[in-house]
Amino acid sequence: MTARGWFLFSLMGVIWGIPYLLIKIAVEDLSPSMVVFVRCALGALLLLPFALRQGGLIRTVRCHWAPMLAFACIEIIGPWYTLTDAERHLSSSTAGLLIAGVPIVGVLAARVLGDAEVLGVRRVAGLALGLAGVGVLTVPHLTGGDARSLGEVLLTVLGYATAPLIAARRLKDVPTLQLVVPCLTLAALVYAPAAAASWPAGLPSTSVLAALAGLGVLCTAVAFVGFLELIREIGPTRSTVITYVNPAVAVAAGALFLDEPLTAGVLAAFALILSGSVLATASGPKRDAAPGSGQGVATGQVRDAVPGPKRGRRPVPWSTRQTSRAGGRVESLTGLPEERPGSTGQGDG
């Protein structure tokens, strides 16, 4: 993974490790609909000027409205409400720990949808180590909640695991801001009526207002831009591995700011999660094409279709794309400009 990829990965690991605490504070005085509405509206308002400055926002929505609608529903409208509602009964650490199942569901969803990312033994081992680390953290923290709340978190996990695949497959050419702003705006409009119906009678406490500001600015506006850039940088499956880091951040924040105990089990979980993240986000080995397979064009060279010693001049199978450049006669491909795979009329192209 590149230095930029590691920076985005670390940033998202921290930023999306704190929303559970902020949501828990906010739902003490506000309804889940109000929390989601304010979070989405604030994030959309902050990012809208930048999206408009890019130009072409309306055209982008018109051309990509279907996958954008699916992404908004699966990543924001559904999961943000179910997670927020669940935290009325679950502790914030429990919610954060349960969300760590996203990478596993993401791998399964990628396989079902025929994703081309190759996992390999190393990345599977990384996913297993990360899950083991989350398990070490989960056992002493799984307290409180009921079947409905756990089901809501499960739905959240499913949405968080599936949405990156939509972004990578159908929205990879859409500028980040022109994807985020319409989705947040739609979510805010969806929850506006319910938020108005549950508007608080008095001004919420300072801690609640600060939690809403943190959710809207840091955990929504900044986080979404960073997460979509992370998907483009390292792929949809590996990007979800940040959910292995998030619960570790949540526990660390509790130890630093709330004097929660930092036990040996927590330190062991940190080691497992960190090791799992490194392995699970590692790039797979590069594969060279087998001699005679006709697949060597990926390196900018077209290899001879017949194995054997090289000769000075040798006929090459005829192709209209070749003769259009060589006056109807091609004897050797040596010296031709580099071409993309499939452009020579050989192999699978």
First to last CA, the chain: 29
Query: 264 vs 9, 91, 137, 261, 267, CA distance in Å?
Result: 26, 22, 11, 10, 5
Distance CA 182, CA 67 (A): 12
CA max distance for the chain? 88
In a domain, 346, yes or no: no
* Claim to verify: residue 47 and residue 108 sit in the same structural domain: yes
Q: Does residue 285 sit within a domain?
A: no
pLDDT digits (tens, 9 = 90+) for 39-58: 999 999 999 998 999 889 99
Q: 194 with 162, same domain?
A: yes
Per-residue pLDDT tens digits for 180-196: 999 999 999 999 999 99
Domain containing 326 equals: 294-341
Q: Higher pLDDT residue, 292 or 147?
A: 147
Distance CA 297, CA 289 (A): 9
Question: Could you tell me if residue 14 is inside a domain?
Answer: yes
- pLDDT of 281 > 70? The answer is no
Average pLDDT over residues 320-329: 41
Among the listed residues 40, 12, 23, the one whose alpha carbon sits nearest the alpha carbon of residue 94: 23
Structure tokens at 32: 């889940």
Residues 252 and 308 in one domain: no
Which sign does the torsion angle of CA 223, 225, 228, 232 carry?
Answer: negative
194 and 307, same domain (yes or no): no
User: What total of structural domains would you count in the chain?
Assistant: 2
